[in-house]
Amino acid sequence: MQNNLTGKTTPTALARRESRLVHWFFVPAVLTVAHYVRLVWYETGANSPNWKFRRVGAVRYAPAAYRRLFWWVFQPFLDRLGPLHIPNFLAAVDAVFLYATLWLLYRLLRRTVSESWPERTAAVGCFMAALIFPLAWIVPYQRPETTPTAMLLATALLSLTWTNRYARLALLCGYALVQGFLRADVAFVFGVTLLLFSLFHRPWRAKYLLEGALVACLSGGVQAYLQFVKYPNVTYGDVAVVQLRNNFNHRQIEFLLVAVLPVVMLLWFCLRRKLSAIEVFILAFSMLYGILWLTVGSACEVRIFVPCLLALCVVAGRVMGSYLTAVDA
C-alpha cells in the first residue's frame, strides 16, 4: 500500500510485507526439520527396543524420568496410533513447537531492533540467516522435549519485554512449573541468571528480582520433587554425572568446536556494538547454561544447547544488522 500524497510505501504495509516474508521462510524451514525428525523416528524409534525403553522403561533412567511431561501429555495419543503413524505424529508435534518458537523469537527481535527500516530489514535478514545453525542441530541425538523447551524459553524471554508485571509474573511462574517437568535445568538457569542480572543491573532490580527468585525456586523445587520423591531410585547407569573431562577428548571436541564457533563469532561482534539489557541477559543465560551443558551433559549432544542457540539468533540479528547498516565516521 502506498501513501497517496507521497507515493511511498507506508510503514504498516512494509511491516506486513516483512511478516509475510518471515512466514515464507519459517514454513519450509520447519517442514524440512520435521521431515528429518520423521525419518529418524522411523529408523530408530517406533520399531526399535529404544522406543519401548522411552515409553515403558524410561522411569529407570534418571534423565528420562526427569523429563516425563512430554509423555504424560502425549502418551494417550501415541497409544492410539500404530508404529507407522507415531513418527508422523511426533514430527508434527515438533513442527508446531518449532514454528511457534521461531515466531516468538521474531516478535522478540521486533521489540529490540530499531524502527529504522534499513536496520530493521538487515536485522530480520541476519536473524533468519543465523537460524541455520541451531536448526541443523535439532535432529542429531534428537529428543522430543527439545522444541517444546525452545518454545517455552522464547515465551519467557518475550515476557521480559512486557510492561504488565502481574501478567509477566504469572507467566514466568507457570513457565517454571511446566519447564520444571520437562527440563528443569533450563528454567533453573534462567531464574538464576535473571536473579543475578537483576542484582547487578540496577534498572532491572525493581522489576525482575522477584521473578528471578521465583523461577529458580519453583523449577528447583520441581527437580527436587522428581529426584527425591517421585523417582528416588533412578540412576544414570554406567554414565558419570560429571562429563567435563570426557567433553574435551578428541571425539567430543569436534562437535564442541562446530557448535560453539558461531557463538564465538557473535561475541566478537557484540564487543563492537552497544547491547540492550535483554540482549545482555540472553548472552549471560546462554553462557551459564553452556557451562552446565559441558559439565553434566555430552558435548556431542548439541541439541541440549539448541534452545540457547535459537535465542542467540535474536542477538545475532540485531547486532549484525546494525553492523551492516552502520555509517562510518
> Residue 51 pLDDT > 80, yes or no?
no
Better pLDDT: 59 or 289:
289
CA distance 153 to 310: 10
Which residues, other chains included, contact 2 with Cβ-Cβ below 8 Å and sequence gap of 6+?
Answer: 8, 9, 10, 13
CA distance 105 to 169: 20
Q: What is the pLDDT of residue 42?
A: 82
> Residue 119 pLDDT > 90, yes or no?
no
Among 163, 161, 152, which Cα is nearest to 110's?
161
Q: What is the pLDDT of residue 50?
A: 46
Averaged over 36-52, what is the pLDDT? 69
> Residue 1 pLDDT > 50, yes or no?
no
> Residue 45 pLDDT > 90, yes or no?
no
Averaged over 166-180, what is the pLDDT? 96
Q: How many CB atoms lie within 10 A of CB 180?
A: 25
pLDDT band (50, 70, 90) for residue 6? very low
Query: 253 in helix, strand or coil?
Result: helix
Averaged over 274-299, what is the pLDDT? 94
Phi/psi-derived region of residue 40, left when phi > 0, alpha when psi is between -120 and 50, beta in every other case: alpha
> Residue 55 pLDDT > 90, yes or no?
no
Query: 155 in helix, strand or coil?
Result: helix
pLDDT for 61-112, tens place per residue?
A: 777 788 889 888 988 888 888 777 888 999 999 999 999 999 999 999 999 8
> Residue 8 pLDDT > 70, yes or no?
no
pLDDT band (50, 70, 90) for residue 327? low
Q: What is the pLDDT of residue 105?
A: 97
Averaged over 305-325, what is the pLDDT? 93
For the residues of 127-154, what is the DSSP string, one character each? Answer: HHHHTHHHHHTSSTT--TTHHHHHHHHH
> Residue 19 pLDDT > 70, yes or no?
yes
pLDDT band (50, 70, 90) for residue 7? very low
Q: What is the pLDDT of residue 328?
A: 47
Q: What is the pLDDT of residue 217?
A: 97
pLDDT for 226-263, tens place per residue?
A: 999 988 888 877 778 888 888 888 888 888 889 999 99
Better pLDDT: 322 or 150:
150
> Residue 223 pLDDT > 50, yes or no?
yes
Averaged over 148-163, what is the pLDDT? 96
Better pLDDT: 249 or 37:
37
Phi/psi-derived region of residue 183, left when phi > 0, alpha when psi is between -120 and 50, beta in every other case: beta
Better pLDDT: 193 or 250:
193
End-to-end Cα spacing for the chain: 35
Q: What is the pLDDT of residue 83?
A: 75
User: What stretch of H or E contains 169?
Assistant: helix 165-200
Highest mean pLDDT among 53-62, 83-92, 217-226: 217-226
Averaged over 133-145, what is the pLDDT? 90
Mean of pLDDT over the chain: 87
Which residues, other chains included, contact 56 with Cβ-Cβ below 8 Å and sequence gap of 6+?
Answer: none
Q: What is the pLDDT of residue 149?
A: 97
Better pLDDT: 183 or 205:
183
